[in-house]
């Protein structure tokens, strides 16, 4: 469950990124991550546990240092025992920003889930620390996580498997590489299981900067698909067999681009100050 924000405090930013964020010419997403994590005073811990590539952590260390963060540490977790080490917990306690890289989200949840590290990250975010991630590192941030599922636009019973995520919030379910991998159907199927949540589908090189006021601000070159299932008037999910299509009536869908916003509390979308990119 999400940690309670201390009295008089504000929750930190939650920043899921759809994967393949620009790391070379236009690093606007990563630059803003550093900015909301303290800017020149930012103290960032990179957690590359989702990836099995040894160069992932050092690569993000260099990126964040080049952008201007004051201190950056890559902290991998190979066993659940690592999540109990006092030195690692002390380092996370000092961080102003925590960043999960891409890879396999189930690797994060199986190694970190239910450990002192997971609890501390929830507490730190509730106390104002920025927590973000890209690709698999985006999926893990919410309470309900898409572990895997079929691609395509159809809502099919049994086509998605959900697993517990890190639990920074229970307000949304994230899917990434959204348009590039045709994942509308699996996000809709996940919402058919849990209509309370809001679906957030993130295109590549696109991020949802979710502020303390629960407003989603879009950054990046792609789009963010918002699916609001709160007014669903009918769902056949409980009546169909696995592998059969599901009927859903009353879904509300928004497509947001850079500058547009969506409030997770009021569930209102606004075009905002749209950024028009000219080729």
Enzyme catalytic residues: 135, 177, 204
H or E segment and range at residue 234: strand 234-235
CA 246 to chain centre: 26
Report which of 163, 169, 119 is spatially closest to residue 141, judged by C-alpha positions.
169
* Packing angle of the helix pair 28-36, 56-67 (nearest 10 deg): 70
Alpha helices by DSSP H, listed for the chain, are: 28-36, 56-67, 86-94, 105-112, 116-126, 136-139, 184-193
Residues making up the chain, counted from first to last: 279
Q: Which residues pair with 172 in a beta bridge?
A: 198
């Amino acid at each position: 469950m999400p940690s309670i924000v201390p009295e008089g405090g504000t929750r930190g930013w939650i920043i899921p990124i759809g994967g393949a964020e620009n790391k070379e010419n236009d690093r606007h997403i990563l630059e803003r991550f550093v900015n909301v994590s303290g800017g020149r005073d930012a103290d960032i811990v990179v957690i590359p546990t989702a990836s099995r590539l040894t160069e992932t952590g050092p690569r993000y260390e260099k990126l964040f240092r080049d952008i201007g963060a004051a201190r950056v540490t890559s902290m991998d977790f190979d066993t659940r025992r690592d999540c109990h080490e006092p030195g690692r917990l002390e380092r996370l306690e000092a961080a102003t920003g925590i960043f999960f890289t891409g890879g396999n989200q189930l690797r994060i949840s199986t190694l970190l889930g239910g450990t002192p590290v997971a609890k501390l990250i929830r507490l730190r975010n509730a106390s104002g620390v920025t927590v973000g991630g890209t690709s698999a590192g985006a999926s893990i941030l919410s309470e309900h996580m898409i572990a895997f599922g079929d691609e395509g636009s159809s809502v099919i019973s049994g086509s998605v498997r959900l697993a517990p995520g890190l639990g920074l919030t229970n307000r949304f379910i994230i899917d990434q590489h959204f348009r590039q991998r045709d994942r509308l159907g699996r996000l809709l199927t996940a919402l058919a299981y849990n209509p309370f949540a809001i679906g957030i589908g993130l295109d590549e090189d696109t991020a949802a900067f979710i502020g303390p006021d629960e407003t989603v601000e879009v950054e990046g070159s792609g789009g963010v698909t918002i699916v609001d299932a709160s007014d669903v008037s009918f769902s056949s999910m409980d009546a169909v067999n696995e592998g059969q299509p599901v009927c859903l009536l009353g879904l509300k869908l928004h497509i947001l681009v850079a500058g547009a916003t969506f409030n997770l509390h009021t569930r209102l979308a606004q075009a905002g100050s749209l950024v028009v990119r000219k080729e």
